[in-house]
Structure 1
Amino acid sequence: MIEKMKALVREKDTCVLATVSSGKPHCSLMSYIADPECREIFMVTHPLTRKFKNLQENPCVSLLIDTREEDRSRALGQKKALTISGTFQKVDPSRKKALRDQFLARHPQLKELVDDPEAILFAIRVQSFQLLEGVRDAYFAEAE
């Protein structure tokens, strides 16, 4: 089942990032890339955003990746929603150039953001996956 979960991560490139600061939740729609093993998910943001301030205060996050766009015509019971629990991490400077290039290859429309000298490329270290298929079938897996 974990391979099915990772396949959804690889197939998609947009998620909802949920952060919390001072007990207040905040959600952001984010473009992402993942490493081949889906152990890390990479995103780009500006340091003055609420999400980044939240990440610095509380590194625990949740991501939601789902199939609602392609499943618009399907019944609710056929949609998939993958919740990922993870931890915010800074990216080692030696990896930034390669990751930046990979990010732009997947998201060329974000070139202006990625090229901004203030922009921050960061990682979410995956701890667990929970896949909901339809309204009844749920599967949980710890990250490998």
Structure 2
Amino acid sequence: MNSREKTGLEKEECLRKLKNFFELQPLAVLATQDGNAPYASLISFASNEKLTYLLFATPKATRKYSNMQANPAVALLIDNRKNTKEDIQEATTVTVLGRVEQVESFEYSIMEKTYLMKHPYLADFLHSPETAFLKIRVEKYIVVTHFQRVVEISV
């Protein structure tokens, strides 16, 4: 498995393709950690225009939220699999590495608009006082296609 870091124009082209890919994928798997135990959760996500942040909401009374409070380093898996044997060669998977932060009040309205444009059915959930609106500050994207073709993009 060869991994290659993209830079310059190649990086910009990869980010453009990732933006299109993210627009088509409504869900992702969020990996958090509590001490030595990893924990995975299904979430609805959206990305900001420059792909520097990925947005999601979660109830505050969850294991994933308490894990992120203790350790903000997370991984997110976004893919387009169809759960068929062809996925091994045909699916694209993107692992996002980053750190979780609260959406700040000064940026809330624009990020809320971005999130609800993709997930309008989650408006009541997002506005609940029991829900945390969070962003992942992206550090790196690791894109895998054709089973072992790996590209890394630092943000």
Same fold by TM-score greater than 0.5: yes
Shift of 1:106: 1.4
Q: 2:104 aligns with which of 74, 85, 92?
A: 92
Moved more, 87-96 or 123-132: 87-96
Shift of 1:38: 0.4
Moved more, 107-116 or 51-60: 107-116
Q: How does 1:95-110 map to 2 (within 5 A)?
A: 95-110=107-122
Shift of 1:117: 1.8
Shift of 1:36: 0.5
Which residue of 2 is the match for residue 30 of structure 1?
43
2:76 equivalent to 1:76: no
Which residue of 2 is the match for residue 14 of structure 1?
27
Helix, strand or coil at the partner of 2:116:
helix
Shift of 1:72: 4.3
Q: Which runs of 5+ in 2 are unaligned?
A: 1-9
The answer as to whether partners of 1:5 and 1:129 remain within 8 angstroms in 2 is no
Shift of 1:5: 3.2
Q: How far apart, in 2, do the equivalents of 1:75 and 1:26 lie?
A: 24
Q: CA RMSD in A?
A: 1.8
Q: How far apart, in 1, do the equivalents of 2:37 and 2:137 lie?
A: 22
Q: 1:125 aligns with which of 134, 137, 152?
A: 137
Q: 1:43 aligns with which of 56, 59, 62?
A: 56
Q: How far apart, in 2, do the equivalents of 1:84 and 1:34 lie?
A: 12
Distance 1:57 1:75, change over 3 A: closer
Q: Which runs of 5+ in 1 are unaligned?
A: none
Q: What is the TM-score when the length of structure 1 is the normalising length?
A: 0.89
Q: 1:112 aligns with which of 120, 124, 128?
A: 124
The answer as to whether partners of 2:44 and 2:56 remain within 8 angstroms in 1 is yes
Q: Aligned residue pairs: how many? A: 142
Q: What is the TM-score when the length of structure 2 is the normalising length?
A: 0.83
